[in-house]
Structure 1
Amino acid sequence: MAGLARYEGSTGATILSTADAILDPKPPRKPFQRPSRRALIGIGSALALVAAVVAFLVIFDWNWLRGPIGRYASAQLQREVAITGDLRVHPWSFAPKVEAYGVRVGQPAWARTIDPDPAPMARIQRIAIQIKILPLLRGQMILPFLAIDKPDVRLLRAKDGKANWTFGARTSDKPLKLPAIQRFVIHDGQLRVDDRQRDALFVGTVDAQERAGERGGRFVLEGKGSLNKADFLAQVTGGPLLNISPDRPYPFDAEIRAGSTRITAEGQVNKPFDLGRLETQLTVSGADLNRLHDLTGLTLPNTPPYRVSGHLVRKGLRYDFEKLSGRVGDSDIRGDLFVLTGRERPYLEADLRSRRLDFDDLGSLVGAAPATGRGETASAGQQVEAAQRDATQRLLPDATLQVDRVRAMDAKVSYRAETVNAPNLPLRKVSMELALDKGVLTLDPIAFTFSRGDLKGKVRLDARPKIPRTDVDLRLTNARLEDFIPIMSDGKRAIEGPVMARAKLSGVGNSVHRAAASADGSMTVVAPRGEIRQAFAELLGVNASKGLILLLSKSDKETPVRCAVADFDVKNGVMTTNHLVADTGVVLARGRGTINLETERMDFRIEGDSKKPRLVRLFIPITIKGPFMAPKIGLDPSKAVGQGGIAAALGSIINPLAALLPFVTTGEAKDADCAGLVADAKQQGAPVKVTQTTPAKPKK
């Protein structure tokens, strides 16, 4: 019983204690223990340090740091930096704010080689910047606020590429990378950019702010002024910056106007604000592609007014202009191109096509004004140039080549035109491969495909010397005379037959006209056979009886062309005839004369001998004189030509033909009707042997 009582008693106590635990779950309180003296000292020291820091921040004069900050920045930027006004810090926030007044940044030492007493690179009345602390701990920099009041900034780039906005090893072409800015203000900014590498000078103002409007307002960055004395406006707009994040693309619209050039863009910065990673739909238009040099630094050809669009993607130092399309003058254009910067010279590579090329647009590439008639596209300046060309009756363009630009870029361009609009020319296709390397421009090959025949060759322009040198080597093969000679009023051709030619010239000068005016070399045109209206053959020597009668009767009787040669030596821009002979079935015509490429005038005299007896043997020499654009054909009645020189004339043509045909084209030399000439010469006593038709040393 006693044991049972003890069991019951202990069980009851357990039940009671369990019930107490359920009713009052708190553990029993430990007795209070006072902190140790060491702990109290530590806590007190920490509180004292915090209080001291707070007190220091409250009473500290931040202006004491202006000197150390200026000296540190000067050492890092390698130019004088000074804060001449107050330095204010507002640290009591998770987004502390710093304001600096009277900031001045000097020019680098090399700037004094351009200007002995240069103005500072920047004078800024006030800079205010705020930064979020918590994102910074995660490796993201977000600026809730950035304000720049009354900055006066002067940017300078020397001809050798040194730029005052680069520091240390950073290059001037390296893309700008800014943190995400949620409120950005530039108030009353003044900007001067003197880019002597591009020969570009901008003077104007810059402002940035949020503007109220539809969709809750827009951020607007605007610059306006003058670029090389032409009106300039650049405006970039985007959504409010408040909710911007480094992890989301920032969409923007942009418009640039520089004189007649206009650029519009609609795109996005993929990672705000890393300007080395962006893409946009871009449209560029203007009076002349060459004028884009001031904005882009690219050496582009002279063109008529243009408008092209495409998708632009920037990846660091590479720009891809994809699926570009549009018009240049009256020609369509499409293709792809890319540009690499950050090199000694920018590099451009393009693959371009035209479905239909308007041929006069191609002349703009060498400085010729395009056609200005009804339906033609030309700028106001090009219309003036065309009027001057017509007034002076000049054919060769005299626009000065910008050799500095040719030396400043490398390029590789492929171009094809599927069809060509070329009035009075049987031109069907154009293709060329262009390479620009270290100041040497090469077109190889350059090819013009006619309805019958091809003109192919190579053009090389060496712009490395002070005065550039141009070398030209062009061949015309498989062509037909009738394709290049206008139809007569009766709807028939005056002459028909194959023609081949070659021009090999070299000249110095910074325009097409000046290079031609100094050219040396040779030029040869050969018609190896064919048919000519007998009336015109008779008039090659002006047979006053036969030729005029045939013309008046509108006779279309033809006579064969057995061989015709026009061979010139070119020296100092003057083309002098070596041989000018045409052998027809009825008349053998010989001539001599010159073409002056500097004055663009010609002076020829052509005499003919009849190959058949005539009742009236009155042959009067023909003269062709005057400018290229409007030569005059006349007669020289002072001397009538009699028959009797046929044998000598035939002898004069045989040997030159044998030497000249391989120079013009080896493929067609065997087709020339020289055998008949040799036979005639032997019959008429010309001092010629058949073996003389084999050239000893043909032209190269």
Structure 2
Amino acid sequence: MDEATQRIEQPAPAVSEPARRRRRLLRNILLGVAGVLLAAWLVLFLTKGRFLKHTAESLAGRALGRDVKVAGDFQLYFAPFKIRFVAEGLTVANPAWAERPQLFRADRVDALIAPWSMLFGRRRFYSLDLVNGAADLEYDKAHTANTWTFGTGKQGGKPFEFPRVDQASVAGTTVRFRDPRMPLTADLRIDPFRSADARIGRAIGVHGAGVVRTTPFTVEARLLSPDATVNRGQNQLALTAHAAGNVIDITGTLPTIADFEDVPLQVRARGRNMANLLDIIGVVIPNTRTYRLAAQLVKQGEIYRFTHLAGRFGDSDLAGRLTVTNGARVRLDSELATRSLDIVDAAPFIGYNPDIVATQGVQAAAAATGAGARRILPDAALPVKTMGAFDAGLHWTVGVVKSRHVPISDLDLTLALDRGRLALSPFTFTMARGHVASDVIFDTRQRPSADRYDIRLAPTPLGRLLAGYGVAEAGTSGTVRGRIQIEGRGDTVHQSLATGSGRIAFVLPTGTFWTRNVQLAELDIGTFVQKMFQHALKEPVRINCGLIGFTVRGGVAAADPILIDTQKNVILGRGGFSFKTEALDLALRADAKKFSLFSGQSPIGIGGDFAAPSLDVISPQLVGRAGVALGLALVAAPPAAILAFIDPGDAKAAACGPVLAGATAAQQRTIKGKARDDVGNGGTGKSESGKRSGGEKQEQRKKFLGIF
């Protein structure tokens, strides 16, 4: 027998007595624990754990930091391996600051709970039977605490986490939500339902009403697969709300029945006026016509992000993104783009109601804002109080503005609203192939509002600019550039301009124009009639330079100067207009540089008001002279026509340097460098009456605009 075999056959060493005692002790302990557990289970099962009622209330109250009470029957036991929990008249208190005393109450709660889920992971209910439950969810005024966050702790408490539920039966349950920051209050009722095997066979309905700020609303929602919601995060939400004439539809998939954070939701809104929609949350935008928009909404704390926004308002399209921050101050930030903007839809930006503009015209829209009769400047007041309650930032681009008269495109607007100071800067667009850049500010921090307009027009083709008014573009090479700078005080466009002071100047560099376009403006009526019969209306007329300037003081604009130097004439103008009354009172005269057979010298009058200007081109003197001259030209020799119009043609050509620099009347010179005495000096108290025989110039004083 070898050594290995001997080792195998040797008997095992005997177990020591101390080791046997330890084994027996461990076995007895295990049996004792099992016996205690069995006894406890048996006691709980037989008594249903009712004797634990006060202990459970105390433990739950300390864990939640709230009073927890059970007014009726209480059961807590294993049945057999699931925890059975029954509570009748269950209440969980709200914090002391809450408007209502109870966070949750129910006539009866009956649940089967997975034991290990109470210690590890997310709590799981195999079944839940809830009868006449009511939840009250509130934020505090500072928006730093809410009723569903329990305890205080270093982390500020822990929000309630809805358990996973496999089967549920719910009847008579309501939910109240209140957020004093908005402020928002909603009262919702959940339709009764019963589910089995994580399926309910029909949607859960939620109905209710509430108030956002001062706007009442109603809401209807459906949870299309609620058991999947609380169990596997597959719930389909479909919600429709009605408020202030708007309809809002929200659809999406929720991970839990009460979890909207970081969840993409599809939002659609439609109504008669988008301004009414945003007014619900205290945000003011210009009125719109009927709108329809769609976007994706994601909520992240106080931030609501609307992306992939697309839709229409009136006859215009809109796309982009919008962010609403519901913090201590509401703030809107948006990046928007429009391919085609109807000019009617742009009317609200200066205070007009677009529906009235579309159906009744600008004058009726102005009247609707409170403006007087025959006025077109809107008197719609800035919403000063609301503008100070929220902030905003906007960048908006527009491809084409659909307009009957002036072609506008490539609009680019940057808007900033900061505690009542509204700045449209920069605000640029292309008009008739010319570039317009502007900065407009309404500072409502000052009372009344301090307003500033600075509008700059780059060189723009006149033919293209005036094409919408019946002026042909072909044959016209003239351009115009200009600037408007006005500062005033007022809470409406009309008030700010009626108190404004500044300067308006439009400069005409050299260019050519059709004779038929400029002949009447030059008051060469006889030549116009003659050339009309000669079919020679396309002969070009050369503009050397021109300046149409006004000095604005206290809302009254006085010509300073109106001076246009053409190949044949010097056109002069005096008078002005008023932003206060919107009255026009201008006189224009053309002096010939050389002898002309048909040159009417009575001044042309531009009167009326902004809404209905009147043009007195053919004055009684000109009618007589043109009629006589035409008749003599037809039946008599040319010398007879000379009797009707005699003009030696001694007008002094303008020095174009000051004109092209946009200088005031005081800086204007003749081509020989002498100061001009035939242009207005920035006042509206005189009107040029024209030349009399022998070339003697006289002026006739008159009152303009009814204020001088």
Taking structure 1 as the reference length, what is the TM-score of the superposition?
A: 0.70
The answer (yes or no) to whether the contact 1:302–1:366 under 8 Å persists in 2 is no
Q: Hey, what does 1:210 align to over in structure 2? A: 193
Q: Would the aligned equivalents of 1:249 and 1:269 in 2 still touch at CA under 8 Å?
A: yes
Do the aligned partners of 1:537 and 1:586 also contact (CA within 8 Å) in 2?
no
- 2:343 corresponds in structure 1 to 359
Report what 1:10 is aligned to. none
- Superposition map of 1:214-293 within 5 A: 216-224=201-209, 232-293=217-278
Change (3 A) 1:49 1:125: closer
2:394 pairs, out of 394, 413, 428, with 413
Question: CA shift at 1:562, angstroms?
Answer: 2.0
Q: Secondary structure at the match of 2:172?
A: strand
Contact 1:286 1:307 in 2 (8 A): yes
Question: What is the aligned partner in structure 2 of residue 90 from structure 1?
Answer: 75
CA drift of 1:371 comes to 6.1
Distance 1:575 1:493 in 2: 33
Q: Which residue of 1 aligns with 2:704?
A: none
Residues 573 and 461 (structure 1), Cα distance of their counterparts in 2 relative to 1, 3 Å cut: same
Greater alpha carbon shift after TM alignment, 523-532 vs 510-519: 510-519
Aligned residue in 2 for 1:481 = 462
User: Offset of 1:527 from its aligned partner?
Assistant: 1.2
Q: 2:601 maps to which residue?
A: 619
Q: 1:619 to 1:163 in 2, by over 3 A?
A: farther
* Separation (CA, whole Å) in 2 of partners of 1:426 and 1:461: 27
Q: What letter corresponds to residue 253 of structure 1 in structure 2?
A: A
In structure 1, the residue matched to 2:661 is 658
Shift of 1:250: 2.2
> Which residue in the other structure is 1:312 paired with?
297
Contact 1:472–1:504 (CA under 8 A) maintained in structure 2: yes
Residue 586 (1) aligns with residue 587 (2): no
Q: CA deviation at 1:658?
A: 3.4
Change (3 A) 1:264 1:42: closer
* Whole-Å separation in 2 of the counterparts to 1:621 and 1:166: 81
Q: SS of the residue aligned with 1:237?
A: strand
Per mean C-alpha deviation after superposition, the further-off stretch among 337-346 and 52-61 is 52-61
In structure 2, distance between residues paired with 1:340 and 1:177 = 27
Q: How far 1:498 moved relative to its partner?
A: 0.3
Query: How far has the Cα of 1:150 moved from its partner?
Result: 8.2
Aligned to 1:577: 559
Partner SS, residue 612 of structure 2 = coil
Give distance in 2, aligned partners of 1:441 and 1:486: 34
Write the distance in 1 (CA, Å) between the matches of 2:300 and 2:93.
34
Distance 1:38 1:103 in 2: 40
1:452-508 C-alpha deviation (Å, 9 max, x unpaired)? 211113233434445443333221112012222246779678975100011223333
Aligned-partner SS, 1:293? helix
Whether the aligned pair in 1 keeps the contact of 2:213 and 2:280 (CA below 8 Å) is: no
Matches within 5 A, 1:172-571: 178-180=162-164, 183=168, 185=170, 187=172, 189=174, 198=182, 206-210=189-193, 216-224=201-209, 232-293=217-278, 300-335=285-320, 337=321, 339=323, 341=325, 343-370=327-354, 385=365, 388=368, 392-465=373-446, 467-486=448-467, 497-534=478-515, 537=518, 539-540=520-521, 542=523, 545-550=526-531, 555-556=536-537, 557-571=539-553
Report the Cα offset of residue 264 of structure 1.
1.8
Measured in 2, the distance between the counterparts of 1:316 and 1:679 equals 71
What are the superposed Cα offsets for residues 140-190 of structure 1, whole Å, 9 maximum, x if unpaired? 1346547574869696886x868876979999xx99964446648573859
Aligned residues: 614
Query: Following TM superposition, by how much is the alpha carbon of 1:680 offset from its aligned partner in structure 2, in angstroms?
Result: 3.4
Q: State the shift of 1:681 in Å.
A: 3.9
2:89 aligns to what? 100
Aligned-partner Cα distance in 1 for 2:177–2:258: 24
CA distance in 1, matches of 2:159, 2:514: 70
Q: Residue type matched to 1:629 in 2?
A: A
Could you tell me how far 1:446 is from its partner in structure 2? 1.8
Task: Provide closer, same or farther for how the CA distance between residues 303 and 40 of structure 1 changes in structure 2, counting only shifts above 3 A.
Answer: closer
| Separation (CA, whole Å) in 2 of partners of 1:98 and 1:633 | 89
Distance of aligned partners of 1:55 and 1:39 in 2 relative to their CA distance in 1, 3 Å threshold:
same
Q: Is it true that 1:680 corresponds to 2:671 in the alignment? A: yes
SS in 1 for 2:277: helix
Shift of the 457–41 alpha-carbon distance from structure 1 to 2, 3 Å rule, reads closer
Judging changes above 3 Å, is the alpha-carbon distance between structure 1 residues 370 and 136 closer, same or farther for their aligned structure 2 residues?
Answer: same
- Paired with 1:127 and 1:357, the residues of 2 have a C-alpha distance of 58
8 Å CA contact retained: 1:70, 1:82: yes
Letter in 1 for 2:223: G
Q: Deviations over 1:515-571 (max 9, x none)?
A: 333333222111122334546655446456445555676651442222221222233
Q: For 1:567, what is the secondary structure of its paired residue?
A: strand
C-alpha distance in structure 2 between counterparts of 1:236 and 1:293, whole Å = 22
Contact 2:45 2:77 in 1 (8 A): no
CA pair 148-648 structure 1, distance change in 2 beyond 3 A = farther
Which amino acid in 2 is paired with 1:258?
A
Change (3 A) 1:38 1:487: closer
Aligned-partner SS, 2:661? helix
Change (3 A) 1:301 1:207: farther
User: SS of the counterpart of 1:92?
Assistant: strand
Partner of 1:137: 119
Alignment deviations for residues 623-679 of structure 1 (CA, whole Å, 9 cap, x no partner): 22223222112269699999799767847x864643549xxxxxxxxxxxx9xx967
Distance 1:306 1:285 in 2: 6
Find the residue that maps to 2:237 and give its secondary structure.
Answer: strand
1:243–1:301 Cα change, 3 Å: same
Per-residue deviation, 1:357? 2.5
**Residue 39 to residue 323, structure 1, CA distance change in 2 (3 Å):** closer
Q: Which is further off, 623-632 or 54-63?
A: 54-63
Judged with a 3 Å threshold, the aligned counterparts in structure 2 of structure 1 residues 210 and 52 are, in CA distance, closer, same or farther, namely closer
Q: Distance in 2 between matches of 1:38 and 1:150?
A: 45
* Percent sequence identity over aligned pairs: 23
Partners of 2:316 and 2:449 lie apart in 1 by 30
Distance 2:161 2:385 in 1: 31
SS in 1 for 2:344: helix
Distance in structure 1 (CA, Å) of the matches to 2:131 and 2:25? 57
Q: Distance in 2 between matches of 1:180 and 1:37?
A: 39
Q: Cα RMSD (Å) of the superposition? A: 5.2
Instruction: Indicate the SS of the match to 2:263.
Output: strand
Is 1:604 matched with 2:581?
no
Contact kept in structure 2, 1:235 and 1:256, CA below 8 Å:
yes
Question: Partners of 1:40 and 1:325 in 2: how far apart?
Answer: 71
Give me the whole-angstrom Cα distance separating, in 1, the residues matched to 2:554 and 2:137: 49
- 1:276–1:317 contact (8 Å) kept in structure 2: no
Measure, in 2, the Cα distance between the counterparts of 1:176 and 1:510.
Answer: 49
Shift of 1:279: 1.5
* Contact 1:176/1:275 (8 A) holds in 2: no
What letter corresponds to residue 483 of structure 2 in structure 1? R
Compute the displacement of 1:268 (Å). 0.7
- CA distance in structure 2 between the aligned counterparts of 1:71 and 1:211, rounded to whole angstroms: 30
Between the aligned partners of 2:603 and 2:531, the Cα distance in structure 1 is 19
Instruction: State the secondary structure of the residue aligned to 2:507.
Output: strand
Deviations 1:561-597 (A, max 9, x none): 2222122223333323221222223332222333332
